[in-house]
Amino acid sequence: MRTPILLAVAVVLAAHGLARAQEIEPRSYSPGPVGMNFAGLSVLDTRGGVAVDPTLPLDNVDVRLESVMPGYSRSFGLAGRAASASLAVPYAWGDIAGDVGEDRREVRRAGFGDTRLRVAVNIAGNPARTPAQYAASAPATTLGASLTVVAPTGEYRADRLVNLGTNRWAFKPEVGLYQPLGPWAVELSAGAWFFTDNDDFFGGVRRQQDPLATAQLHVAYTFRPRLWIAASSTWYGGGETTIDGTERADRQDNTRVGLTLSVPVARDWSVKLGWSDGVTTRIGSDFSTVALALQYAWLAGPALPR
């Protein structure tokens, strides 16, 4: 039973990692002034199932994860272009359960997840601008690029079947287009996750994963500064895995939808509410997520007109 259980657990482990890969992020490429800082705390509730390869001895997989994620972001100028960098470190806890053959297995975990760093720069349509220049300019089409890096800093032990960390690096280069249309805005992005190998997977074997392509579409409406709503969809596909040379029939071809609402609650504070759910799931996580984020924004220089 060692090999079937090992392969089954590989799918369960994907539940936490894919939750990060499937994030819906509206307004990631919207322009802003140089010197803007954001600090926030997000609380997420993720629950649902995992669609597995039907040839595996695993069924009725249920996942419930809670997580808190403090983060910080800052915008700056880079070679005359607007750029930004953000950092987030999640802490998660929850339960994963599933039927392995005729036995029901359940495990509970709590600890830090993998650290996330994202750097973005506008390629066209949004030069680096001071707050005063930004306030005086009209919205324009913006083309940007970003790189997200997930570092293996999360809790991980090779003798455990389920971990919150992944024991590997992940990189997502991406390009995004932001098109304002009056109070409306349309945002498109496309990229791919690339993964290094986990050389110390459960049992001391190697786990490899092919690139996972992603694409997102967001349509947002701004009522006034910092008060906006966005409807989103995302698709991701690929990501087949290999364990010690054994290829798995676990190619993903999944879609998700979501809604995000941002509401100002004080001069420099805002609350963001988010919901997302799976629409189609071939292999991988089929979960729903509810998120609440409290965010504080400030400028390193003179404040923007309000």
Give residue-wise pLDDT tens across range 26-44.
999 998 899 999 999 999 9
C-alpha span between 248 and 170 (Å, rounded): 20
Query: With 0-12 CB in 10 A as exposed, 13-18 as middle and 19+ as buried, what is 275?
Result: middle
What distance in Å separates the CA atoms of residue 15 and residue 97, rounded to the nearest whole number?
Answer: 11
Is 285 within the bounds of a domain? yes
Asked if residue 264 is part of any domain, the answer here is: yes
142 and 122 Cβ atoms separated by less than 8 Å: yes
d(C-alpha 289, C-alpha 156), whole Å: 24
In a domain, 306, yes or no: no
What pLDDT is attached to residue 303? 42
Instruction: Return the structure tokens found at 136.
Output: 């005086």
Tens place of pLDDT per residue across the chain (306 aa): 444 444 444 444 444 454 555 678 899 999 889 999 999 999 999 888 766 655 556 677 788 889 999 999 999 999 999 999 999 999 999 888 878 777 888 888 899 999 999 999 999 998 999 989 998 998 899 999 999 999 999 999 888 777 888 899 999 999 999 999 999 999 999 999 999 999 998 778 898 999 999 999 999 999 998 999 999 999 999 989 898 888 887 888 889 999 999 999 999 999 999 999 888 766 666 788 899 999 999 997 544 433
Number of domains in the chain: 1
pLDDT in tens, 238-276: 989 898 888 887 888 889 999 999 999 999 999 999 999
CATH classification at residue 6: 2.40.128.130
Q: Is 304 inside any structural domain?
A: no
Q: Which domain holds residue 53?
A: 2-299
DSSP notation for 209-226: E--EEEEEEEEEEEEETT
Residue corresponding to tokens 């694409």: 215
Which residue blocks in 158-240 are alpha helix, DSSP H?
Answer: none
Rounded CA-CA distance 217/88 in Å is: 23
pTM of the model: 0.90
Q: Is residue 126 part of a domain?
A: yes
- Number of helices (H), then strands (E), in the chain: 2, 18
Q: What is the pLDDT of residue 11?
A: 47
Q: Indicate whether 136 belongs to any domain.
A: yes
> CA-to-CA distance for 34 and 288, rounded, in angstroms?
35
Distance CA 193, CA 212 (A): 5
Query: Residue 197 half-sphere exposure, CB side, CA atoms within 13 Å?
Result: 11
Burial of 60 (0-12, 13-18, 19+ CB in 10 A): exposed
Q: Does a structural domain hold residue 25?
A: yes
305 lies in some domain: no
